[in-house]
Amino acid sequence: MAEYDIVVAGGGPAGLQFAREISHRSAHSVAVLERNETLRDNDKSTGGTFHQVVAGYDIPERVIMSSNPGVIFEGPEASERLEIPNYVLDFPAFLAYLGEDAAERGVDVFTGSRVSGPILEDETVAGVVARQNGGVREFYADVVVDATGPAGVLTSELGMWDPEAAQRGIGKEFEVCGSFDRNSMLFRFDHEYAPGGYAWVFPAGDGVFKIGVCWVDDFYERHRRPSGDNIDAYVRRWIESDSRWDVEEIRGVHAGEVASDNSINQRVGDGIVAVGDAVSSLNPMFGEGIRPGMESAEMAADVVLDALRKGNISRRILSAYEDRWNRKRGSRWKIQRIVGELLYDFDASQQNRFVRNVGQLSGEQAARLQRYELTLFDLLSLYPFAPKDITKAPTLLRHIRVG
Ligand SMILES: Cc1cc2nc3c(=O)[nH]c(=O)nc-3n(C[C@H](O)[C@H](O)[C@H](O)COP(=O)(O)OP(=O)(O)OC[C@H]3O[C@@H](n4cnc5c(N)ncnc54)[C@H](O)[C@@H]3O)c2cc1C
């Protein structure tokens, strides 16, 4: 048995940032339990992100593969570029850095430690059970944090959200050596290459770039090729399609799933908070999850520190985190879910019109797009209406009402 003030299940960006926040701001004892043998083994993500992460969370240059001045949006026959500066991280190195920084401040990071469930005392979460070194070990804590990503190991067992009911998708990319003649992130909305999703190319430093495809399962079914090619075949088709890049060698493969609901789910319970993808924090429009996951960790850490100061870790006190998330992100995420529901189901003509509309955004609107703060007017100006969309009204209304 081990005892800590806080035990974090999951060592991805959200769990590690939570541990960093606590360790930089207090003397509380913290343990992070990660099922993989090293933090670097969580190698699913492209690592595209923005200054809010790099400057906001003191991310060192050595884990940044490229910094780029713009983002290109493409449809089957349209291409527009916005001045939105961005970064591409070396995701495994980024996680290793977050873990090292937390450990330097006294956090115990246990890898090879798979959390199997919560320990409950009088309906309050009092710790977790973990498999470690072939045995089972109990970790008791005043506060437990679920940061296990889309698995939502504790949140799903405690009924805080239903991962089965969430919209699911997958992504796969190759990290390649070769040449890509743009210094921008590129997103392409085109069912030919990414049915029901998007394809991307991100510069990742000298002679290296990342090229991939993702889709939402429901929309993939509607737009896929009759041959039912797997995602590898789509990535390869995307690689072979274009003279703007030239692939010499595939040096890495990254893949994973994403799960998204309306983000109005429960984020706290007695003795527990959930952060990152364990509680569907990722943005439902573009699937960006690093920034919102770390933001959720920061918000949760504020509230947990306050709860520990008060000696009260009840749901009532911890719900200040849930309120803050829902105020800042929850309602916006509902709207973005609606946009996603339309966007990934657009026909080719709508994809082109959408991209051209993106090209018309002013500098201020582009900045709002980057912050996910588009107004209703902004969104309407982007929307390429087609009569077929009217049949979607019941689904869209459900997204607004749920929760
Ligand atoms: C192909 C792909 C590309 C992506 N590209 C981007 C991108 O460019 N930019 C962006 O912002 N987002 C991107 N995302 C999304 C982003 O990676 C995630 O939203 C983000 O990693 C979520 O962080 P997290 O800490 O909540 O969860 P995760 O990163 O999923 O971390 C959860 C951790 O918990 C561990 N874990 C799981 N179960 C247990 C258990 N039982 N016990 C202990 N540990 C456990 C896992 O091993 C993992 O290390 C991408 C996702 C995919 C799949």
**pLDDT tens digits for range 324-379:** 999 999 888 888 888 888 999 999 999 999 999 999 999 999 999 999 999 989 99
Please, is 105 exposed, middle or buried when counting C-beta atoms within 10 Å of its C-beta (0-12, 13-18, 19+)? middle
- What's the mean pLDDT in 210-225? 95
pLDDT at 14 (0 to 100)? 98
Tell whether the model's pLDDT for residue 402 goes beyond 70.
no
* Alpha carbon of 367 to ligand 1 centroid (Å): 26
8: Cβ below 6 Å to ligand 1?
no
- What's the mean pLDDT in 276-296? 94
- What is the residue with the minimal CA distance to atom 48 of ligand 1? 12
Choose the most confident range, by mean pLDDT, from 51-55, 151-155, 385-389.
51-55
User: Alpha-carbon distance 230 to 227, whole Å?
Assistant: 9
* Alpha carbon of 376 to ligand 1 centroid (Å): 30
pLDDT at 1 (0 to 100)? 85
Tell whether the model's pLDDT for residue 284 goes beyond 90.
no
For the stretch 290-301, pLDDT in tens is 999 999 999 999
Q: How confident is the model at residue 198 (pLDDT cuts 50, 70, 90)?
A: very high
Tell whether the model's pLDDT for residue 265 goes beyond 80.
no
33: Cβ below 6 Å to ligand 1?
yes
> Which of 340 and 260 is assigned the larger pLDDT?
340
pLDDT at 98 (0 to 100)? 98
197: Cβ below 6 Å to ligand 1?
no
Which among 194, 152, 155, 154 is positioned nearest to 172, based on CA atoms?
A: 194
283: Cβ below 6 Å to ligand 1?
no
42: Cβ below 6 Å to ligand 1?
yes
Tell whether the model's pLDDT for residue 398 goes beyond 80.
no
Q: How far from the centroid of its chain's Cα atoms is residue 227's Cα? A: 30
* Alpha carbon of 33 to ligand 1 centroid (Å): 15
* Alpha carbon of 44 to ligand 1 centroid (Å): 7
Domains and CATH numbers, the chain: 2-49+91-165+260-330 (3.50.50.60), 65-87+167-258 (3.30.9.10), 335-401 (no CATH)
Tell whether the model's pLDDT for residue 279 goes beyond 70.
yes
34: Cβ below 6 Å to ligand 1?
yes
The answer to whether 209 and 235 have CB atoms below 8 angstroms apart is no
Decide: pTM greater than 0.75. Answer: yes
- What is the residue with the minimal CA distance to atom 16 of ligand 1? 289
282: Cβ below 6 Å to ligand 1?
yes
Count of beta carbons in the 10 Å neighbourhood of residue 402 = 13
Give the least confident one: 59-73, 208-222, 246-260, 388-402: 388-402
pLDDT exceeding 70 applies to what percent of the chain?
Answer: 97
**Rounded to whole angstroms, what are the CA distances from 117 to 111, 185, 242?**
17, 39, 48
- What is the residue with the minimal CA distance to atom 52 of ligand 1? 45
Tell whether the model's pLDDT for residue 51 goes beyond 90.
yes
- What is the residue with the minimal CA distance to atom 50 of ligand 1? 45
> Could you identify the atom of ligand 1 that is nearest to the CA of residue 170?
53
Q: How confident is the model at residue 264 (pLDDT cuts 50, 70, 90)?
A: low
148, 238, 286, 295: residue to mutate for ligand 1 pocket, most atoms within 8 A of CB = 148
49: Cβ below 6 Å to ligand 1?
yes
- What's the mean pLDDT in 2-6? 96
Residue 312 in tokens: 């009260």
For the stretch 125-138, pLDDT in tens is 999 999 999 999 99
For the stretch 74-117, pLDDT in tens is 999 999 999 999 999 999 999 999 999 999 999 999 999 999 99
The answer to whether 175 and 263 have CB atoms below 8 angstroms apart is no
Give the least confident one: 100-114, 155-169, 231-245: 155-169
- What is the residue with the minimal CA distance to atom 3 of ligand 1? 45
* Alpha carbon of 149 to ligand 1 centroid (Å): 5
274: Cβ below 6 Å to ligand 1?
no
pLDDT at 338 (0 to 100)? 87
